[in-house]
Each structure stands twice: as structure tokens, then as C-alpha cells.
Amino acid sequence: MKINSVAVYCGASSGIDPIFVEQARALGVLLASRGIRLVYGGGGIGLMGAVADGVLSQGGDVIGVIPDRLMAAELGHVGVADMRIVKSMHERKALMASLSDAFIVLPGGFGTMDELFEAATWTQLTYHEKPCGVLNIAGYFDPLQAMVERMVASGFVPPEHRALVLFDTTAEQLLQQFEGWTTPRSKIKFLKAPDP
């Protein structure tokens, strides 16, 4: 599938390993080099700021989406010209999803995990048909990848839905996975109660 715009979910913190910031910035540079627009949470700090800085350093296209209370706390990236200010986190996620063709997840905390699984669930339930990829930097997401495999093995995620969350260790390979990705929508079966 053709990817013109990617939502990147990641931490507003930098983490303790400098490689997180380095790889976030490198992802931004890669997106800009391929003419892919970045849609992200609008922050100017942490991995958020790094990925936006990477895109901006190459003259790439960036849309920030930030709740008004975070903007008021001066957490917005001052270099992003197209900053969409919204009222809530729910509105933020919905707008980011609507502006994007795919999702890339970098290291982060609770909010990043929430965004990852909401994006994947929306594809699973056919609210959209967009791939979700996890950039596994320095093994950060190894436990999460194991948990996804366990959800499949335990019967909570159908095997054909395993491809709703892609994992890779390089951004280039993740984008290649997106190009070859097709939605498993035709295989989705909604659960219904058995007949009495």
C-alpha cells in the first residue's frame, strides 16, 4: 500500500538510553527523505521532539496534534507550523488516525501503549484499514512482542490478526512491511452469543 502520511506514537520523555533519541530523529529524517508526512502528538520534548526535529531538519512536512491543556503548559513544538490544538486526548487520537495512512510506535510509556493498541483495535474492528508497526529499538519492545505472541497462542487474538501489529528493528524494514501489508478485514469474525 502507498504510505503518504504516518502517525508516530512515542514518549514525551527521552528515556535513559541515548539510542532512543537518535533513532527517533533518524526516523524523522527517513520519513522526510521519502516524502512521507509526519503526524504526531505535537510535543517539543523527548522522542516526540526528536522525531519532529528529524523531519524538520530535512524540510519535511509535519502536523502536530496536541490537547489545549498541554499547549498551555508550553509543551508544544515551536518549530511546527501546522499545529492542530484539540480539546481532549480522545480527539487527538481520532484526528491523528484520520490524517494518517499508517502508524509507527517508538518507545514510550502508558500513553504510547494506549495509542498502539487503540490503532490496532480500530483496524481489527474495521473502523479503518491501516497498518501499525512497532520500531523495536534496543530490544525495548521484546516483552511486548512476546505478549502479543502469547495472546495469539492463548486464543485471545486470532492468528490471522497477528499481522495487525508488525515489529521490526529498523525503520526501513518497517516501511517495507507497510508497503506489502494488506488488511485481514475479510477474515474478521465478530463474536456473537450462542443461540439459547
Right CATH for 5-178 from 3.40.50.450, 3.40.50.10490, 3.30.300.130, 3.40.640.10: 3.40.50.450
pTM: 0.92
pLDDT (0 to 100) of residue 72: 83
Mean pLDDT of 102-111: 97
Residue 195 has pLDDT above 80, yes or no: no
Alpha-carbon distance values, 144 to 13, 107, 130, 147, 166 (Å):
19, 11, 20, 5, 11
How many other β-carbons are positioned within 10 Å of the β-carbon of residue 144? Answer: 17
Tens of pLDDT, residue by residue over 44-53, are: 999 999 999 9
Mean pLDDT of the chain: 93
pLDDT (0 to 100) of residue 1: 82
The CA distance from 147 to 153, in Å, is: 10
Tens of pLDDT, residue by residue over 16-65, are: 999 999 999 999 999 999 999 999 999 999 999 999 999 999 999 999 99
Order of strands, edge to edge, in the sheet holding 62-67? 82-86, 62-67, 37-40, 5-9, 102-105, 132-135, 165-168
- Find out whether 13 and 48 touch, Cβ atoms under 8 Å: no
Tens of pLDDT, residue by residue over 181-194, are: 988 754 555 544 45
